[in-house]
Amino acid sequence: MQQPNAEPNPMLNLALAYAAAGDALIFDCNYKKDAFGRMFWCDYLVGEEARHMEFYVDHLNERLQLRGRYALAALLAAIDVPSADETWALLEKKFHPALVDDIAAITDIRSKLPSRYTVKSDDEKDRYVYVIECTDSELPLCKIGIAKDPDARLRQLLTSSPHSLKIHADIQCQNAMAIEAAAHEHFASRRKNGEWFAIHPYQAIAFIASRTQEAA
C-alpha cells in the first residue's frame, strides 16, 4: 500500500471530525485507469493518519483482476455497502484497520485462496446457507440459498442450467433461514432473479459469516 499524494482534500477535515480511535474511516475513493486496466483506490484515516490503498478491479491478468474484485467485495462487506458503483456511498464508512492486511493478502497473486469455505455445526439437523457462483457469467453472479445437502442442490441446479456452477461456501447453522433472508434483503438492490444476485462470492460469504458469528 502506498501513501496518498499530498493534495488538498475537502473531505479530510470532515473525516477527521468523525474518525474514532481504532477505526479506519474512508474519506475519499474512486476509480482510475492506466495502461493495464482500472484500479479502485481508497484514502482512509486511522486516528489522524491518512493512508491509501489501491488495487486493480479490471486487468489484463485475469488472476490479478479476480483477486482485486474479491478485495473490493471484502471491503464492501466490511462497511455494509452492497455496491461500489456509486463511490460516494462508501464515504465516511468505517472498517477495522486489520482489513487492509487481509486485502493485501487477497491481492497477492502468489497466495492461495480457499476454493470452498465450509463450516459445520454441532447439530447435524441444522441446514446450510450456501453460495453458488455462475462461473461462466461475464458479470459476477451468485445464488444465496439454504439446503440440507448443498452438493445435492448443486447437482439439481446443474440438470436445468446451461451455465457452469460452483459452490463457494456452505455454512451450517441453526438460524439458516434468518441468515438467508437477511442476505437477500441486504443485497436486494443487486438481485437479478429469485435468489440470484450480481455480487462476488466473497462478498456474500463475508456477509453470511458475519451474521453467523453474531448469532453464535
Distance CA(130)–CA(141), nearest Å, equals 14
Per-residue model confidence (pLDDT) at position 6:
45
Contact between 99 and 53 under an 8 Å Cβ cutoff? The reply is: no
Per-residue model confidence (pLDDT) at position 37:
93
24 burial level (CB within 10 Å; 0-12, 13-18, 19+): buried
Count of CB atoms situated within 10 Å of the CB of 45:
22
Using alpha carbons, select from 148, 207, 143, 196 the residue that is nearest to residue 173: 148
Residues 6+ apart with CB under 8 A from 92: 14, 15, 18, 25, 26, 27
How far CA 107 is from CA of 11, 31, 70, 71, 93, in Å, comes to: 27, 17, 8, 7, 22
Per-residue model confidence (pLDDT) at position 77:
83
Per-residue model confidence (pLDDT) at position 2:
45
SS3 151: helix
Spell out a b/e string for 176-207, using b for 16 or more CB atoms within 10 Å of the CB, else e.
Answer: beebbebbeebbeebeeeeebbbbbbbbbbbb
pLDDT by residue for the chain (216 residues), tens only, comes to: 444 444 445 556 655 555 555 689 999 999 999 989 999 999 999 888 899 999 999 998 888 888 898 889 888 888 888 889 899 999 999 988 888 887 888 888 777 766 778 888 888 789 999 999 998 887 789 999 999 999 999 999 999 888 899 998 899 988 999 999 999 999 998 899 999 998 888 788 878 877 776 655
Residues 6+ apart with CB under 8 A from 101: none
Distance CA(62)–CA(66), nearest Å, equals 6
CA 19 to the chain's CA centroid: 23
Per-residue model confidence (pLDDT) at position 5:
47
How far CA 133 is from CA of 136, 138, 180, in Å, comes to: 9, 12, 16
